[in-house]
Structure 1
Amino acid sequence: MDRSDYQTDVLIVGSGAGALVAALVAKEAGLETLVIEKTDLVGGSSAMSGGGLWIPNNPVSREAGVEDSFEMAWRYLEEVVPAAGPAASPDRRRAFLEYGPQMVEFLRRLGFRWHAAIGYPDYYPERPGGSKRGRAIEGSIFDGRQLGPWLKRLRPFPGAPPIPIHTNEVASFLVSLRTVRGFLMAMRVFGRFFQRALGKVPMGLGASLVGQLLWLCLQRNIPIWLESSLEELVVDHGRVAGAVVRREGRTLRVAARRGVLLAAGGFEHHGEMRERYLPKPTSTDWAVGASGNTGDAIRAAQALGAAVALMDKAWGGPVVILPQGQVSFLVGERSLPFSIIVDSKGERFMNESASYVDCWRWQYERHRQTPAIPAWLIMESRHRRYYPFGLLPPGITPQSATSSQFLVRAQTLRELAMRIGIDPDGLERTVVRFNRMAQQGKDEDFHRGESAYDRFYSDPRVKPNPNLGPLERPPFYATAIYPGELGTLGGLLTDEWGQVLHENGEPIPGLYATGNTSASVFGGTYPGPGSTLGPACTFAYIAMQHIVQNMQLVERV
């Protein structure tokens, strides 16, 4: 680049987990690194997430007693990942499985503290190669005080303080009023909250993941520019050599001697891209990912002729719109007993306890036959009495927490159906059939509760099937369900080294991508908890390894 305002070896666009891992790898290799983030907060969707990484055969889980191997994981991915073109190629899957454990060990050597999410199963654990004990890992509880003034720059979970809990503890926490184990888990989590009285800021989930990575970056004086957006990529002699960045009202040319990594999330908050690529209907109102995920990096690479893939897919799932207008992603709430999801005819059309990505797909498939957007989560009184719902504790449903689409209440199912505008006869027929199946303990229609994944979010006191509970006792509640997204999963097509590919199939020199900026190695399937962050961090690690290896090769020549 002939003229530049700032020079570095590696420019990283985005500040989520993948971006920060890449920054650490490059820095440890002796490369100057710059991270730019378009918003005023660090962490992107990673910081707002459960913070888990699905990494088969990783050392942390193996040390905790999980039996796993490359061969087991390969067979599992062969079973569950569909044919999805080059994004999910055997070479990319092999790279993910080989380098994932290395990435985990690399971070541990730097001081990252891992926690094995034992008991949180793969999403299809009964398939060959699947694991019922789970392959997910996450950050241990982290004291946010270590971030100093940067603590205020860590993107928070919407509407709640940092939650000091691990993902494999959440299921027990949800049934804290029902089981001794759940009660003890709740006491443990509340005990962590009380550490705030001692001046600590305990963090779990995505806050721990990004918090620890940010802390490691700050220790190494890696520069992070906030409110600095990517305007365009710069090409010099056929190679991506930097970018034009808008920062503090100024346009700067940043030279990147070794390469640029795009790790800026997907496009779930870009209305035009949603309309162009995603299934219909679609709305930015249903997006749960970070607000800065507007596809800037994808479009910048497309301007250079970069190929894209899987653009019609998303890491989706059932979401609800809270009375205050916020969107909330449902996982455990829809899986617990005494509830069903129905369409406008009042009929069930899915296994409510299944993977959220499957539920997202099923809702769109149903809507093509019968209006099912919104669908409705129907609950009876025991669901509200026993379990939390979003941020509402069990048994507490104030009028201020209800709306025409959230926790609508009625004394009969027919009255409830009339209030929400669905077929009352259909709902009554559905509930009669469902209640019979709940009493027998077998969902003859959708097999709810048969998989170990279904039973992860369940109530063991409900017999004979912990995911099924009859809808008998008023009041009854209904909440509108929309097909929202944690993030889009289609993006730039990359090879096994994370290099962005041109439409002609050749790598674009100097340009790399990871996370939701790139097309998923899983082709739209979600193999287990952390299937977004696991590949994001792994391919960030791989991309930096490729840069380092090329640098060493050039130096030898």
Structure 2
Amino acid sequence: MSLSRLPHQARPSPSLLFKGSGVLAPITCCTYTQKRRASVQRQPPGYDVVVVGSGCAGLSAAIVAAKHGLKVLVAEKSNYFGGTTAFSFGGAWIPVNKYQKMLGIEDDVDKADTYVRRVLGDLYDEKNHKKMQAFLASAPEMVEWMEANSAMQFAPMPIPDYHVAKEGASVGRTVSVEAFDGRLLGRQTLRDVRYTLQGFHAFGSMQARPWDIPALTHPFGSWSNFHFATSKVVRYVVDVLRYGKGSELANGNAMVGRLLHSCQREGVELRKNAPVLRTVLDENGRVSGVVVGVNSQTGTTTTAAEEQIPVNKAVVLASGGFGRSDEARKYLPHEWSACPKHNVGDGLRIGRESGAAMPPPNPDNGIYAPISLLRKKTRDGGTQIRRYPHFSQDRTKPGAIIVGRDGRRFANESEPYQEFVKNMHAQGIDQAYLLADRTFLRKYGMGIGLPAPYPVRHLIRSGYLIEAPDLATLAGKIGVPADKLSETVAACNRYAVEGRDPEFHRGENAYDLMLGDPSTGLPNPTLGLCKSPPFYALPIYPGNVSTVYGLTTDENAQCLDKEGVPVPGLYAVGLDQNSVMRGTYPGGGSSIGPALTFGYRAALHIAGKI
């Protein structure tokens, strides 16, 4: 074992090393062993902190706690680390972050507070005020602490807030995370990082940042494009042979990779396939342990057992909410969720069983996004459904048109995903169609179908993409009135030429324009032509990528009982705590930003630093 891997308190003094030799003196070895044994004997059993779940909220809490000298276990229920974060773009909404100045943006806490007050409205009440103030104060501090003390490295994004017309809105409050070399994790941990959603990678696991996509889809456009694309593919092939998957991690996978690497460096124990079943409470009602499920394999027989683990300081619930549970339909006005299938509300159940309370539901209890579905037959004759959330990759690009069953548009295709699905809910639209032509499909892709040169014929054969030689035939295939569909497309083509959308004002604000494409040469970069056959339709449905309704917590992420008193030793972060945004969505990463921040604050509070 190298000295760098030893716990800080167990490392020998540099004065005990032979200078220039790089080895320990014999007497030092004996002394070190004796000290280590004594330290182990004095150490209390179990862990100081057990984190339930391995998304960004739980991993950030684990890193901060370990950095402050606490012994930490991360218990992940599934076979993969990363939770919902691994599926995301990895953006975090952090007002007053240090990167805004790089973009020439001056921001301040008062301005950010004004903005969230306008977005939340009556939801910004006295109970939420203290929590919001803690978030606004600690979020930029968290960014700087993480960059100084872990492998996390953020980057600026010139994205405007989602409600650009509201007082206090700004630009650059969303920060991204730098790509990460997954080889640093080691072969097994790299393989244990949750795969991205299909459509967010190529060839199975080759990932790319959004700004790399033009070079990958136009490899012969220039020498630099060709060099970049071929280098990336060659490395990917080598990675698959060596690791079984690509090692260049981007977006949410990069955030997970960086957090996992930091956990490894700080000595955090990472366990997968380790569902926390319940807490153990002492005679005073304090959380003093957890019971973890353990499966043992003997031949073809799996035996389920339980392990009780003492917890000396706190349990942090970070299990990812309940988006895939049967209970979700009670709080969400739609059926489909793109969060991991293991996110069924374990943290909320454990919290309530331990004495924590839940507040009244929020007006909106999820992060919404339109979702398309790829249905695939399984070997046993069943059907597997893969879910793809349409954030901004396709529907916001010029030439995309979304219609309801009547063949008419019903909203601005470029508006933020939360607001777009709320529009679907308000109008009772349970299914719509994303329409585009051949030029659009080859340039931007549609859902899981990637841009050229990547193949899409298999998606057409499966029925995911619907193809037709003309609009009348397409209308017949999707069951909408042919005359209405033709009128809608003709109107959109006219709007593209004129540069103005009189129906839904697409392209009239900074957010729309940022997601458009000025390379079309048309006057409005969000409006494009749909006229090159064949034509395509992709069914989309109102859905969500996570729940945001959770346990009642205070400004330090302590779980509160129904009287508003902290449950001793119990914290909830990420999607297991009720969102500080109360179901609203101020900007990109309005879930990940608070998740990282309250994970940070929870660990500081556990360590007695706040």
TM-score (norm 2): 0.81
State yes or no: 1:245 paired with 2:292.
yes
- 2:436 and 2:536 in contact (8 A); partners too: yes
Give the equivalent residue in structure 2 for 1:456.
514
Gapped regions of structure 1 (runs ≥ 5): 553-557
- 1:322 and 1:406 in contact (8 A); partners too: yes
Q: Which of 555, 572, 581 is the equivalent residue of 1:522?
A: 581
Pairwise mapping of residues 200-279 of structure 1 onto structure 2 (< 5 A)? 201-236=247-282, 237-248=284-295, 249-270=304-325, 272-279=326-333
CA apart distance, 1:40: 1.5
SS of 1:89's equivalent? helix
**Change over 3 Å in CA distance of 1:387–1:260 after alignment to 2:** same
- 1:310 and 1:524 in contact (8 A); partners too: no
Pairwise mapping of residues 135-534 of structure 1 onto structure 2 (< 5 A)? 135-148=173-186, 149-159=188-198, 160=201, 161-167=204-210, 169=211, 188=228, 191-196=231-236, 201-236=247-282, 237-248=284-295, 249-270=304-325, 272-279=326-333, 281-282=334-335, 286-303=336-353, 304-310=355-361, 312-324=364-376, 325-330=385-390, 331-367=392-428, 372-389=429-446, 390-394=448-452, 398-402=456-460, 405-462=463-520, 463-534=522-593
CA apart distance, 1:131: 2.5
- 2:206 and 2:236 in contact (8 A); partners too: no
**Change over 3 Å in CA distance of 1:504–1:306 after alignment to 2:** same
Cα deviations across residues 175-210 of structure 1 (Å, max 9, x unaligned)?
859998xx9678646644544467693221112111
Cα deviations across residues 269-313 of structure 1 (Å, max 9, x unaligned)?
11x21222211x41xxx3211221111111222233511444652
Letter in 2 for 1:388: G
- 1:46 and 1:210 in contact (8 A); partners too: yes
SS of 1:461's equivalent? helix
Segments ≥4 residues shifted beyond 3 Å: 60-66, 85-88, 158-167, 170-180, 183-200, 308-312, 395-399
> Equivalents in 2 of 1:138, 1:447: separation in Å?
29
State yes or no: 1:29 paired with 2:68.
yes
The structure with more radius of gyration: 2
Letter in 2 for 1:301: G
**Change over 3 Å in CA distance of 1:526–1:352 after alignment to 2:** same
CA apart distance, 1:410: 1.6
- 1:306 and 1:493 in contact (8 A); partners too: yes
CA apart distance, 1:516: 1.0
SS of 2:189's equivalent? helix
> Equivalents in 1 of 2:219, 2:516: separation in Å?
13
> Equivalents in 2 of 1:71, 1:313: separation in Å?
27
Letter in 2 for 1:261: V
Once the two structures are overlaid, the 10-residue window that deviates more, 455-464 or 37-46, is: 455-464
- 2:216 and 2:225 in contact (8 A); partners too: no
CA apart distance, 1:477: 0.9
SS of 2:420's equivalent? helix
- 1:171 and 1:332 in contact (8 A); partners too: no
SS of 1:83's equivalent? helix
- 2:549 and 2:576 in contact (8 A); partners too: yes
Cα deviations across residues 382-405 of structure 1 (Å, max 9, x unaligned)?
212322233422376643211575
Give the equivalent residue in structure 1 for 2:108.
69
SS of 1:465's equivalent? coil
Letter in 1 for 2:317: L
Once the two structures are overlaid, the 10-residue window that deviates more, 83-92 or 349-358, is: 83-92
What percentage of aligned pairs have identical amino acids? 34
**Change over 3 Å in CA distance of 1:187–1:440 after alignment to 2:** farther
Q: Which of 100, 109, 124 is the equivalent residue of 2:148?
A: 109
**Change over 3 Å in CA distance of 1:121–1:86 after alignment to 2:** same
Letter in 1 for 2:311: A
CA apart distance, 1:377: 0.7
- 1:379 and 1:476 in contact (8 A); partners too: yes
- 1:56 and 1:68 in contact (8 A); partners too: yes
> Equivalents in 1 of 2:212, 2:366: separation in Å?
24
SS of 2:194's equivalent? coil
Letter in 2 for 1:81: L
- 1:36 and 1:224 in contact (8 A); partners too: yes
Cα RMSD between the aligned structures?
2.7
Give the equivalent residue in structure 2 for 1:555.
none
- 1:14 and 1:44 in contact (8 A); partners too: yes
Cα deviations across residues 129-183 of structure 1 (Å, max 9, x unaligned)?
3233x2222332211111112111111113435555445x268669859998xx9
> Equivalents in 1 of 2:237, 2:461: separation in Å?
35
Cα deviations across residues 442-492 of structure 1 (Å, max 9, x unaligned)?
111211111222122222133111111233332211110011221111111
Cα deviations across residues 212-245 of structure 1 (Å, max 9, x unaligned)?
1111111122111211112122222122223222
SS of 1:402's equivalent? helix
> Equivalents in 1 of 2:139, 2:499: separation in Å?
40
**Change over 3 Å in CA distance of 1:542–1:158 after alignment to 2:** same
- 1:178 and 1:461 in contact (8 A); partners too: no
Cα deviations across residues 490-520 of structure 1 (Å, max 9, x unaligned)?
1112121111222233322221111111111
TM-score (norm 1): 0.88
Give the equivalent residue in structure 1 for 2:379.
none
Give the equivalent residue in structure 1 for 2:19.
none
Greater RCO, 1 or 2 (C-alpha within 8 Å, sep 6+): 1
CA apart distance, 1:68: 2.1
Letter in 2 for 1:229: P
**Change over 3 Å in CA distance of 1:402–1:228 after alignment to 2:** same
**Change over 3 Å in CA distance of 1:429–1:247 after alignment to 2:** same
- 1:321 and 1:405 in contact (8 A); partners too: no
**Change over 3 Å in CA distance of 1:479–1:435 after alignment to 2:** same
**Change over 3 Å in CA distance of 1:423–1:242 after alignment to 2:** farther
Give the equivalent residue in structure 1 for 2:24.
none
> Equivalents in 2 of 1:384, 1:70: separation in Å?
42
> Equivalents in 2 of 1:190, 1:61: separation in Å?
34
CA apart distance, 1:264: 0.7
> Equivalents in 2 of 1:377, 1:403: separation in Å?
18
